[in-house]
Amino acid sequence: MDMSQYLDVFLEESKEHLENLNQKLLQLEKNRNDIGALNEIFRAAHTLKGMSSTMGFEDLADLTHHMENVLSDLKEGKIEVSSDIVDILFKCLDRIQLIVEQIETTGSGIMDNSDLISVLENVKSGSLEVASALEKEIRLPADEEKEAVLTPKEDKSKRFAFNDYDITVLREASSRGMKIYYIRIQVDPGCLMKSVRAFMVFKALEEEGEVIKSIPPAQELEEGKFEEGFEVFVITSADKEKLVQNVNKISEVKIAEIENIEIATVSVSTGEEKMAMQTSAESEMEKKAELGEKGAVSSGDQKKQVHKVRQTVRVDIERLDNLMNLVGELVMHKGRLEQIGANTKLVELNETIEQIDRVTADLQSVVMKVRMVPIEQVFNRFPRMVRDLAKELNKEVDFLMEGKETELDRTVIDEIGDPLVHLLRNAVDHGLEPAEERIKKGKPAVGTVMLRARHEGNNVYIEVEDDGAGIDIEKVKKKAVEKGLITEKEAEKMDKDEAIELLFYPGFSTAKTVTDVSGRGVGLDVVKTKIESLNGEIAVETKPDKGTKFKIKLPLTLAIIQALMVAVRDEIYAIPLSSVDETTMITKNDIKIIQGQEVMMLRGNILPIFRLAELLETPGGASSEDEMYVVVVRKAERQIGLVVDTLIGQQEIVIKSLGKLLSGIPGIAGAIVAGDGNVRLILDVATLF
């Protein structure tokens, strides 16, 4: 029986069981008498064994079978739960994760697990000391060894998302005696115009045949969104030497690999839309069995176990991105229609525009909600990481999480994981003191790290807080002087906030020695850059011996936002409304000069102001009007005034990337296509100054 059609469902369900195993093992480690957690672990291992055996992945089934034997003895009280046994179970979990990843990438689940099986057999026989000694010798293969040790020869076609139409084309070409080639193109790392080289390669190949698929897709190649090369599938009647000759004539480009592919080995991608009925409620039989194992539970606990059964459809995220792009186009054209309606003043047209406006708003709202996923997906991987890091550093850490149900756009979710990993590692390594030092200060020996998320308006706030030693401002200044980032005179003049900003300088690190955890100079500058690329902000609060809090502010979504449209000389710009605090009007007499900086008074406070036309070097004549508009924007904790000529009004805008060639320009977040068809730039307040 062909089981490949069920592979996607197997992989999805395996990942869910692995996540459950991770959470319940952490729970069991905290409370070794938690029978409920032990039952969940046993059930997950049992299900994984059955699934992998059915799919024919015998190595995975064998490992989970031996795990199940040990867990059965733990349930029956034959073996006591200890930290050593939990460590061994975590090692098994990591190995299962590795096998599932291998199945996903190569389709093969073959792996030698005799080392772990030997450990589990020793645990079952009561030889825990022998098992612990063996477990400490087990190491997961290093990343660079995975390719050679674990991965069999890869079927190149599996990486290409072939659909039924593609397969039909390939079969038709094969029946006519044409050849199918997989080609990997290498582009010189110093090449300045990679997109042009990609175009030339396509042109050279299409002289002899047809390129039917590429990785990355053709659109990304046109935009230069690839590193040192790309891969293509080509149908041709020409021989291999002719193709190599044509491509290698192009400067800064060469064929790194070319392979003749047999049509019989190419299969339809399993990455098509999957439908699955998911329910978080267990069947009545399982509930009764669980109640029998746990004994009586309170009515409150019973209520918690009852969940509403929902039907869900699993959809490729790329389809949602395409849907969001189409809705974005609709919003853009809606703006154009509104402008035409305002100019023509046709009653019937305006009535239709109002209807379209309502439908578009509803459609946009639905698409946004579909793209929203709980931040729990990111948070769930951190308890294990913090636990392992605390053990490595010999620290006791109580890790707490709040607001896991907070929802964020999928795009933001995918990007925020790495910055949070860095901040949490910093909190455990740099923030929390060793237990002896904490006791001397009158603190509990166990340190606390808190990760919380919450909604506030159109933003999500994520905080990483520890109750450690806090940031030593003088030490930071001294280290910055040593590294040549600032002079001693500059250090003396710096206040606390300015000194904390030094933490975000590239290459800055206060670690005395280089370890696996810190000290390599890849620090908070990477975190800040990533968060700012998501149109977010990061701020730091710290108190000596009380702890440190990193506060991240992120937009709910990156696709469609509200913006304030302003006119500056001959240009119109969009300022994201999330950065705008208020607008006001002043005259030239209201502007004062303090230390060469233009300022104004705003409700008793001094507000520095900048003329946007000068900041952006906008072409056109300066306004001669005595009155001028000021947009008060917020950059982290500071307010700044931007002087503009005219306030046009609030507008819903669809953010468009400027492409790789124009990426990273300070002060510019992207562009929009306005209702009149013109391109308008979106200002990025965080990098404007």
Catalytically active residues, by annotation: 46, 68, 426
For residues 387 and 439, the answer to whether their CB atoms sit within 8 Å is no
Report the distance separating Cα 93 and Cα 114, nearest Å: 15
For residues 554 and 459, the answer to whether their CB atoms sit within 8 Å is yes
Q: Quick check: helix, strand or coil at residue 237?
A: coil
Q: Which residue has the tokens 């999805």?
A: 12
Rounded (10°) CA dihedral 259, 263, 264, 267: 100
Q: How many residues does the chain have?
A: 689
Q: Could you give the angle at the alpha carbon of 470 between the alpha carbons of 379 and 536, nearest 5°?
A: 45
Report the distance separating Cα 661 and Cα 666, nearest Å: 14
Q: Which of 565, 673, 680 is nearest to 336 (CA)?
A: 673
What 8-state DSSP symbol labels residue 428? I
User: How crowded is the C-beta side of 200, counted as CA atoms within 13 Å?
Assistant: 16
Handedness of CA 555, 559, 564, 569 (dihedral sign): positive
Burial 431-440 (b: 16+ CB within 10 A, else e): bbbebeebee
Q: Which of 285, 393, 332 is nearest to 43 (CA)?
A: 285
Burial 15-36 (b: 16+ CB within 10 A, else e): eebbebbbbbbbbbbeeeebeb
CA distances from 569 to 26, 196, 572, 617, 646 (A): 60, 36, 8, 10, 9
Handedness of CA 324, 330, 333, 335 (dihedral sign): negative
Report the distance separating Cα 290 and Cα 288, nearest Å: 5
Report the distance separating Cα 247 and Cα 217, nearest Å: 19
* Peptide bond between residue 216 and the one before it cis (omega within 30 degrees of 0): yes
Q: How many C-beta neighbours within 10 Å does residue 574 have?
A: 24
What is the token pair recorded at 106?
């190569």
For residues 656 and 646, the answer to whether their CB atoms sit within 8 Å is no
What is the token pair recorded at 651?
């507008």
Q: Residue 568 forms beta bridges with which residues?
A: 571
CA distances from 161 to 14, 214, 228, 257, 666 (A): 22, 9, 21, 20, 37
